[in-house]
Amino acid sequence: MSSSVRLKWDGDDARREALKAAEKGLGLAMEHLLGESRKEAPLEEGTLERSGTAVVRGREGAVYFDTVYARRQHEELTWRHDPGRKAKYLEDPFNRERETLLEIVAAQVREALGP
């Protein structure tokens, strides 16, 4: 007596679902990074913090702060800031949260592809 199992693998569908899930995860990851960065952005009136934006275009994501002084605030290590606020307010959270960002994307892909 023999038995068999048939499995139909549609790699194109799986690939599309994985990419769609990865893009969703990338968006969630960029929102997470934005939130962490806003916690550290120099704060006087809140303009810099409010200018932060997370964007995803296809397979690329970015977080940016859109004021004329955002870059200078980020790079100027000698300026004084309120406690918890500092220069490198985007770079440091990115480096610190790197594994979390990757896991956010991976979790969306795992969920889309199922067990």
pLDDT band at 11 (very low <50, low <70, confident <90, very high): confident
Per-residue pLDDT at 8: 67
Q: Is residue 92 part of a domain?
A: yes
pLDDT band at 57 (very low <50, low <70, confident <90, very high): very high
What's the domain count of the chain? Answer: 1
Phi/psi for 53 (5° steps) reads -140, 140
Q: Is residue 6 part of a domain?
A: no
Helix axis angle, 11-40 to 91-113, nearest 10°: 150
Q: State the average pLDDT over residues 65-85.
A: 92
Q: Is residue 7 part of a domain?
A: no
Q: Which of 24-28, 80-84, 88-92 has the lowest mean pLDDT?
A: 80-84
Structural domain range at position 88? 12-113
Q: Is residue 63 part of a domain?
A: yes
Q: What CA–CA distance (Å, rounded) separates 101 from 30? A: 8
